[in-house]
Amino acid sequence: MPTQLTPRGIAKPWGVPSLPPALAGHAAGERTGEIWFEGDAAAPLLVKWLFTSERLSVQVHPDDAGARAIGLPHGKDEAWYVVAAAPGATIGIGIGGAPGREAVAAAARDGSIVDMMEWREVAAGDVLYVPGGTIHALGGGLQLVEIQQALDLTWRLYDYGRPRELHLAEGLAAARLAPFGANAPRRAIDPRRTARCEGGKFVIEELAGAWAGQIAGARGSVWLVALTDDGQLGDTAVAAGSVWRIDADTPASLAADARWLLAYAAPAADPARLAA
């Protein structure tokens, strides 16, 4: 049977005072910034919904090699699916030019690291895959689904004067001081199924429109994020905002206006098979 993951709202200074109706029951404090969907602590992936009213800290996570060097099992690659974005909303990702580590350290101390970053405007439906070691910061006015390697480790380089700990030595040691590149490319698998990011530590697919088939969880766990209502897993209705882990081959269907994300750790392949 698929497992519906348990949501846990987390208050953040950059969060929002109200959530979309499908997620309103998971609010935390005056400003909810994150909703974590938790299950098996040993799972390779973690799914969150994020809500931003202002810029997050400039931060970085370790890649696999950096994490293992400090005794952790793996690093933290992450990807963002933009569910909604205010006009002009941006994400800062990567460092422009070729600054030295000392210059970036000085910029982190005085705040000018914000100007070193490459800020790109984003819109609903965009996907960014962010390898560990990439300096980044979310802007305000965003609603995102974040899918990541399951590591809770963030090194903040600059935090706009908020009274939170910074981690310059660790973060700069882990950071790649380089531009980011392009958004994750789309690859159509069939008319209703699109690979939104692949080639990294995990794959994200988008299912949209009338579809019936099987999610092949027996080959490896598949995480399902429901962006809308009007979907079914077996006989169970799947509500908008919910997140599921599928560990066995499971029949599934979507209505014409429904949309899901599927995520699975690489190198598993082809988790969804259309019905004949």
Would 3-174 and 187-274 be classified into the same CATH topology?
yes
Burial class (CB in 10 A: 0-12, 13-18, 19+), 95: buried
What is the CATH number that goes with domain 187-274?
A: 2.60.120.10
- How do 136-138 and 90-95 pair as beta strands? antiparallel
141, 86 in Cβ contact below 8 A?
Answer: yes
pLDDT at residue 276 in the model:
32
Residue 188 CB neighbour total at 10 angstroms: 9
Question: Has 176 been annotated as catalytic?
Answer: no
Q: Which one of 55, 68, 101, 156 is the catalytic residue?
A: 156
pLDDT at residue 268 in the model:
58
pLDDT at residue 214 in the model:
92
Domain ranges in the chain are 3-174, 187-274
Q: What is the pLDDT of residues 37-96, one digit of tens each?
A: 998 888 999 999 999 999 999 999 999 999 999 999 999 999 999 999 999 999 999 998
Q: What is the DSSP letter of 26?
A: G
Question: Could you give the 3-state DSSP secondary structure of residue 49?
Answer: strand
Distances (CA, A) of 111 to 108, 165, 177, 202: 5, 15, 16, 33
Give the containing element (helix H, strand E) for 66. Answer: helix 64-69
pLDDT at residue 184 in the model:
79
pLDDT at residue 275 in the model:
43
Q: What is the pLDDT of residues 168-224, one digit of tens each?
A: 999 999 999 989 988 878 999 989 999 999 989 999 999 999 999 999 888 889 999
Report the percentage of the chain scoring pLDDT > 90. 87
pLDDT at residue 229 in the model:
96
What is the CATH number that goes with domain 3-174?
A: 2.60.120.10
Instruction: Give the side-chain half-sphere CA count within 13 A for 156.
Output: 14
- Tell me phi and psi for residue 68, to 5 degrees: -65, -30
pTM metric for this prediction: 0.95
